[in-house]
Every structure is written in structure tokens, then in C-alpha cells.
Amino acid sequence: MDRKTAVVTGASRGIGRACAIKLAQRGMNVVVNYNKSEKKALEVIDIIREFGVEAIAVKADISINKEVVGLFSQAMKHFGRVDILVNNVGIVEDSFIMMLSEDSLNRSMDINIKSYFYCCKQAALKMFKNKKGCIVNISSVSSRKALAGQSVYSATKGAINSMTAVLAKELSQFGICVNSIAPGFINTDMISSLSEDKKKEYLDMIPLGRFGEAEEVAELVSFLCEGRGSYITGQTFVIDGGLSI
């Protein structure tokens, strides 16, 4: 009954999947949000239950506010509480400014910015009565380092960092900590789909000479959510192998 409950968006794969599993390993119940791949979400559920905690998979397009409300309603119905939110969903649609389409811009704004606001609002509404909670927004090193073709992506992730700092001030009175994590090149589906030449190009940019692992990002998320990071709020943590220095 005393287990914390974490809502992790985009938890069927990549960084979200790693975060959901890591928080389960730390003894938390988990709401696994997904939008398209139910099969992968259920695979995550099976892994999570091996740690003796509970988990549910909830389909929701979090760029739509009504579906976000439904996501958190299901979390409350099943677990009776929401203690942690890991805002992880995002898209990358690289385009030079002269080739940028309105549709691509709108998709990025809806998914990379609006969804974070929608989820933060619902999480805060569920957390403030208990006077405690933790929100971690997954940003990107692109918010700090200029990469050609990523003007929109960088803008959206920079907005997440700024939003994080403001929400940390707003929600501190309710004991809710809000931080963001800005990963660099992480070994997920996006990296595996690149050509070998492109991988080498990116590796040459990273001082540590390797891509990060989703589990390394999840470890930092876990630190912030477990209580060990309870005096940290409003910060953006870069985890990029030195890419941004």
C-alpha cells in the first residue's frame, strides 16, 4: 500500500522503457504509457512484474489533452496515487529552416511541448494534496548544443528546460520537485537505424567515444525520483559523454 506509483510516458521502448523498468526495480508500481505498440508495452509489463510490483499499460496519445486526462484517471483508479511522472515522449524531424513544413512544426510543438504541459498539469493535480512528488522531463542535449537541421527540435527541448525551472518554483510549495534530463546520443532505435558512416560521424563528436545507454539515463531518473535527490529542483542535467563541452 505504501509503494510509490510512477507514470512513464512513451514507456514501450527506448529511454522510457528503461526508466519504467528501473523504477520497478526500485520497488515502484508503474503506469506504462504507449500510443502505438501494445505488444512492446505488454512486454515491459511482464518484465516489471518480475520485480514483485504492479504495472498497467495505458494507451494514450499525450499530445491530446483529453487522452492525458484519461491516462491519469486510469492511474488513480488502479493505484489511488501518482507520485512520479517521467515525461519522455518526443519526436525528431530534422529539417533546415528553408525546407521546414508547417505540419512538421505543428507535430513537434504538439508532441514535444504541449504534451509535457498536459502531463505536468495532471501530475501536479494528483500530487499536491500529498505535499510531495517528483516530475522528470526528458529534454535533449540539442537544447544546449546547436546541431544543423534541428532548429525546431532544439527550440522545443529548450522550452522544456525553461518550463522545468518555472514549474519547479510554482510547485515547490506543494513539495513537488521538477527537473529535466538532457541526454546526448543514446543507443536506442534512432541510433541503430543510422548508417555506419553517420554513427562514426557522431562518435567522433563524443569525447568518451561511445553512445550512451538508456539504462544510464534511467539511473539518473531513478536518483531524482527515489528521494536521494529530494533537495534538487529546477535543474537540467546533461548526460552526453561530453558532447556539449
The catalytic site residues sit at 153
Contact between 140 and 182 under an 8 Å Cβ cutoff? The reply is yes
CB 170 within 8 Å of CB 148 = no
Q: Can you count the helices (H) and strands (E) in the chain? A: 9, 7
Edge to edge, the sheet with strand 84-87 lists 55-59, 29-34, 5-8, 84-87, 133-138, 176-183, 236-239
Could you give the angle at the alpha carbon of 167 between the alpha carbons of 153 and 78, nearest 5°?
Answer: 90
By the 10 Å C-beta count (0-12 exposed, 13-18 middle, 19+ buried), 197 is classed as: exposed
Listed in order, strand segments (DSSP E) in the chain are 5-8, 29-34, 55-59, 84-87, 133-138, 176-183, 236-239
With contact defined as beta carbons under 8 Å apart, do 120 and 85 qualify?
Answer: yes
Single out the residue of 10, 47, 54 nearest to residue 30, CA to CA: 54
In the chain, the amino acid numbered 111 is I
Q: How many degrees, rounded to 5, is the angle at CA 187 between CA 186 and CA 188?
A: 100
CA distance linking residue 229 with residue 89, whole number of Å:
23
